[in-house]
A = this chain, B = another copy of it.
Amino acid sequence: MVDNRKVGVLGGGQLGRMLIEAANRLNIQVNVLDAASSPAKQISAHDGHIEGSFKDSAAVKTLAQASDVVTVEIEHVDTHMLEEVASEVVVEPSWKTLRTIKDKYAQKHYLKEHGVDVADSIDLEGKGVEGLKEVGTTYGYPYMLKSKTEAYDGRGNFVVKSDADVDAAFEALGKRPLYAERWADFRIELAVMVVKTKDGVLTFPTVETVHEDSICKLTYAPPRNVSESTAQSAQALAKKAIGAFEGKGVFGVEMFLLKDDSLLINEIAPRPHNSGHYTIEACPISQYDAHLRAILDLPISQSNLRLREPSIMLNILGGQTPDSHVQVARKALESPNASVHLYGKGDARPGRKMGHITVTAPTLAAAEHEIHPLIDFVDAKKGKKTTTPSPRSETSLSTKPEPLVAVIMGSDSDLPVLKAGLQILETLHIPFTTRITSAHRTPDWLRTFSKSASATSLRVIIGAAGGAAHLPGMCASWTTLPVIGLPVKATHMDGWDSLVSMTQMPRGEPVATVGINNSTNAALLAVRILGAEDREIRERLRVWMEGNEKEVLRKDGVLLGGGGRLI
């Protein structure tokens, strides 16, 4: 084993199970406190487990005695018991942190005190129905009524839409310790898994989370239609938030991305989190590896946490029938890039987390394309009308692969010149799209196209133009993708005008210019650029070039003796 110390975990659900999966690989013994056949215990055969409830203080004590480091897979634990055992055993993260975070109002108050942006909130304990009405006056409607404790997956939350809702809201949640939150009019939700180690704070990549009925349904890494700088701001905010707490381990930070691109913390979880499941396949080490390493002071660095490939996680929830989750899992086995995780839970109640699927692919567009039928299948099982949550739904619905090359031209009169090049792309199986856009007649559309290009599946742009030929140069000024310029011979100057307009771009925005009217070379250059990273495309090109070489040698042979011999 990499470490002789024994880890004790309060809770043996799916998070504990995936933690043990990571521990098994390092031969680290994890003692689980939970019921006998809990998911985590099923994959760990030793006699150090404790049978009982993680809320039972005697059982927590027994676990502490059998372990060197105690941690949690759930925050709804008795922190007073953890405080007591902390004198005998290391508890990570600190019981103080768990105590603050398990009370959502205290959590937000604490974050605000530490200068972290969170939604405004008002304490409602002991304030009765009147308190709820006052919030309506202060914040306006709608606002969010929440139980401070034991609230998760939408339970313990109530959206108060108008003063007519106040009585119903109080009746639903009035017996619990309550607080209210100002409504956050967010564009999308983001999440970041943060790792707190003995040396500092590290972050996994930012993901987009999609909730349905207040339960996490999907995560997208990287987030869709979010700039890299916003993704980095989300990591920075998450880092700041977790830096304010004591103790080690991984933390899930859920955020709102507002319509003005600013960020607000929504909630923090002091443990591995649903929004970090994707890390098992998508990063060199998973959130579970990271948690173990952090609490045991084993080596870990920011470079362990890179995104290997874009990925999408889809939760498998219990559905209408007892086996609908199994049907989803079986369906996912047909998906080329899907990893299927089932948690070994017995009963499938509607909405219960039974497993998850992670699809990784070379591009997020390809992952979206692949996950789409699985989302539809899940929705159909729920009796929901099929809609895709993807903003690229139209293209996702088709079975065509997403384009890697865009061929743009100022006018369809350039098409005859482009024909040979498009033929090359087809021959070499490169998915492409052709668009007509003119630097002078449709400057705004060219700008919109160019600015958004790098966030799509596109990798290279070919711009064909004649005359003053501003098209590829303007496109290059608005994108970071490589732009190939194809000078087209127009009425005057034999094509010299376009050739020079493209090559002589100012320092800063290069256009990769090929010969006049030589669309074959424009296409082949695009293929070379794609092949720089894609061995398969490069091999296709090599075979094609070899064929050309043989053809030239054959012609030479014909010239020589009429026999078509190779020398």
Interface residues, chain A, with chain B CB atoms under 8 Å away? 1-2, 21, 24-27, 41-46, 222, 228-229, 284-285, 293, 298-301, 303-304, 306-309, 326, 329-330, 333-334, 336-344, 360, 362, 420, 454, 459-460, 480-484, 487, 499, 503-505, 507-516, 518, 520-522, 524-525, 528-536, 538-539, 541-543, 545, 548
Contact = CB atoms under 8 A, between A and B. Distances in A.
8 contacts: A2-B333, A25-B342, A44-B45, A228-B535, A481-B532, A482-B532, A499-B503, A510-B524
A532 B21 contact: no
Nearest to A528: B482
A284 B360 contact: yes
Q: Which 4 A-B pairs have the closest CB atoms?
A: A512-B512, A510-B521, A303-B336, A533-B533
Contacts of A507: 420, 518, 520-521
A335 to B, nearest CB: 9
A539 B229 contact: yes
B514 A505 contact: yes
Copies of this chain: 2
A333 B299 contact: yes
Contacts of A228: 535-536, 538-539, 542
A109 B548 CA distance: 41
B511 A514 contact: yes
Contacts of A333: 2, 293, 298-300
Contacts of A420: 507
A480 B304 contact: no
Contact of A513 (B24, B334, B343, B514): B514
A441 to B, nearest CB: 25
A333 to B, nearest CB: 4
A480 B545 contact: yes
Contact of A480 (B1, B504, B541, B548): B541
Nearest to A282: B308
Contacts of A326: 1-2
Contact of A2 (B2, B307, B342, B362): B342
Given A43-B43, A481-B538, A482-B525, 6 more contacts: A2-B342, A25-B340, A25-B341, A299-B333, A299-B334, A513-B514
A531 B480 CA distance: 8
Nearest to A479: B528
